[in-house]
Chains A and B, each alone.
Chain A
Amino acid sequence: MTTIAITVLAMSGISGFLALMLSLANKTIANYGEQEVYINDDKKIVVDGGDTLLSALVDQKIFIPSACGGKGSCGYCKVTVIEGGGQILPTELGYVTKDERLEGVRLACQLKVKESLRIQIPEELFSVRQMTCEVAFLKSVTPTIKHLRVTLPANADFTFKPGQYVQILAPKYKGNEEEVYRAYSIASSPDDHEGLELFIGLVEGGVATTFVHEHLQVGQPLIVVGPYGEFYYHENERPMILVAIGTGMSPIMSILKYMKDHKINRQATFFFGARTREDLFEMDTLMALESEMPNLEVITCLSRPTEQCHWDGDVGRVTDLIKKYLKDAENSEAYLCGSPKMIDSVIPLLAEKGLPENLIFYDKFES
Chain B
Amino acid sequence: MIDIHPMVIFFAAIFTNNMILSNFLGMCSFIAVSNEIRTSLSLGQAVTFVLGCTSLINYFVYHYVLVPLSLEYLRFIVFIIVIAAFVQLVEMIIERYFETLYYSLGIFLPLITVNCAILGVSLFMIIREYNLFQSFAFGIGSGLGWTLAIVAMAGIRKRLQSASIPKGLEGPGITLIITGIMALAFLGFSGIVQIQ
Contacts and interface: CB of A to CB of B under 8 A. Distances in A.
Interface of A: 6-7, 10-11, 14-15, 18-19, 21-22, 25-26, 29-30, 86-87, 89-91
A26 B77 CA distance: 23
Interface in B80-107: 81-82, 85, 88-89, 92-93, 95-96, 99, 103, 106-107
Interface string B71-83: 1001001100110
Interface in B15-66: 61, 65-66
A22 B88 contact: yes
Contact of B77 (A6, A11, A21): A11
Nearest to B61: A14
B96 to A, nearest CB: 5
B69 interface: yes
B101 to A, nearest CB: 12
A91 B102 CA distance: 13
Contacts of B85: 18-19, 21-22
A87 to B, nearest CB: 5
Contacts of A26: 92
Contacts of B92: 25-26, 29-30
B81 A14 contact: yes
B95 A30 contact: yes
Nearest to A9: B69
Contact of A89 (B65, B71, B74, B106): B106
A53 to B, nearest CB: 16
A89 B103 contact: yes
Contact of A14 (B78, B95, B107): B78
B71 A25 contact: no
Given A10-B65, A86-B99, A21 B89 contact: yes
Nearest to B108: A90
A22 B93 CA distance: 11
A110 to B, nearest CB: 11
B77 to A, nearest CB: 7
A21 B61 CA distance: 15
Contacts of A30: 92, 95-96
A290 B38 CA distance: 69
Contacts of A6: 69, 71
A30 B66 CA distance: 31
A49 to B, nearest CB: 11
A29 B107 contact: no
A333 B112 CA distance: 60
Contacts of A25: 89, 92-93
13 contacts: A6-B69, A7-B71, A10-B71, A14-B61, A14-B65, A14-B82, A21-B85, A22-B89, A29-B89, A30-B96, A86-B103, A87-B103, A91-B107
A113 to B, nearest CB: 13
A21 B77 CA distance: 18
Nearest to B89: A25
Given A10-B65, A10-B74, A30-B96, 18 more contacts: A7-B74, A10-B69, A10-B71, A11-B74, A11-B77, A14-B65, A15-B81, A18-B85, A19-B85, A26-B92, A29-B89, A29-B92, A29-B93, A86-B103, A89-B103, A90-B106, A90-B107, A91-B107
